[in-house]
């Protein structure tokens, strides 16, 4: 049996593994109705690592990722913090931040970076966002590095006003005024 569908199979294999990375060679062989050895050769020629490596990659990715996206107190990497005055953070836009079609970052990630920075710059037990007035001034693309700077404009007993500006290089991509409340 000569399969001139080799090319087709290899394309489908690549696509399949992208959507379902947790399939063994044996399961893949069944799906494509070829031998396990053929799948191995395909993987080899396509540079697709073995199942256990694929699982590890997913695990590793997310072991860091979920932490940094959801479980840390600040979205992005906090690189400077002068409580009640100034804070700076960096966020690198990865595939998880963008619209799949356009590769443009979703607004709420920029908001999240700025909001968490505005909250963390204030020195109080509990700080919550009250109001925010934000402008998205330029599109942010996959791979760009957002540098966000929060400056405390007004700091009273129960509330503070924080101005946040986010840049990519010299371009301002986001500006926001946050009014945050301090609870005892």
Among its own copies, DNA, none, residue 119 binds (CB under 5-8 Å by kind): its own copies
Could you give the string, one character per residue 147-176, with x where binding to its own copies holds by CB under 8 A and - elsewhere?
A: ------------------------------
Tell me whether residue 45 or residue 61 sits nearer to DNA (CB atom): 45
- Which partner in its own copies, DNA, none is near 160 (CB below 5 to 8 A by kind)? none
- Applying CB under 7 A, does 149 fall inside the site for DNA? no
Binder of its own copies out of 135, 141, 143, 172 (CB under 8 A): 135
Q: How many CB atoms lie within 10 A of CB 171?
A: 11
Instruction: Out of 46, 82, 130, 153, point to the residue binding its own copies (CB under 8 A).
Output: 130
Of residues 34 and 105, the one with the C-beta less far from DNA: 34
Least distance from C-beta 120 to its own copies, angstroms? 11
Number of residues that bind DNA (CB under 7 A): 21
Residue 18 CB, shortest distance to DNA, in Å, is 15
Cα distance between residue 105 and residue 178, in whole Å: 21
Structure tokens at 132: 């925010």
DSSP string, the chain: ---TTHHHHHHHHHHHHHH-----HHHHHHHHTS-HHHHHHHHHHHTPPPHHHHHHHHHHHHHHHHIIIIISSSSSEEEEEETTTEEEEEEE--GGGB-TTT-BBPHHHHHHHHHHHHHHTS-SSEEEEEEEEEEE-S--BTT-EEEEEEEEEEE-SSEEEEEEEEEETTEEEEEEEEEEEEE-
Residues 36-75 touching DNA, rule: CB under 7 A, are 37-38, 40-41, 43-44, 49-52
Residues of the shown chain interacting with DNA in the complex, contacts defined by CB under 7 A: 1-3, 5-6, 9, 24-26, 34-35, 37-38, 40-41, 43-44, 49-52
């Amino acid at each position: 049996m000569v399969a001139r569908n080799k090319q087709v199979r290899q394309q489908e294999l690549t696509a399949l593994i992208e959507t379902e990375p947790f399939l063994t060679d044996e399961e893949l062989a069944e799906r494509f109705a070829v031998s396990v050895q053929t799948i191995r050769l395909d993987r080899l020629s396509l540079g697709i690592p073995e199942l256990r490596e694929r699982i590890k990659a997913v695990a590793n990715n997310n072991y860091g990722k979920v932490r940094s996206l959801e479980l840390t107190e600040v979205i992005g990497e906090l690189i400077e913090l002068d409580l009640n005055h100034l804070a700076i953070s960096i966020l690198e836009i990865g595939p998880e931040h963008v619209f799949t079609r356009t590769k443009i970052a979703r607004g709420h990630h920029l908001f999240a970076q700025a909001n968490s920075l505005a909250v963390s710059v204030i020195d109080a037990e509990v700080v919550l966002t009250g109001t925010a007035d934000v402008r998205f001034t330029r599109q942010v693309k996959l791979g760009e590095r957002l540098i966000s700077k929060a400056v405390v404009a007004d700091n009273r007993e129960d509330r503070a006003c924080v101005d946040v500006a986010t840049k990519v290089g010299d371009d301002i991509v986001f500006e926001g005024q946050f009014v945050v409340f301090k609870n005892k």
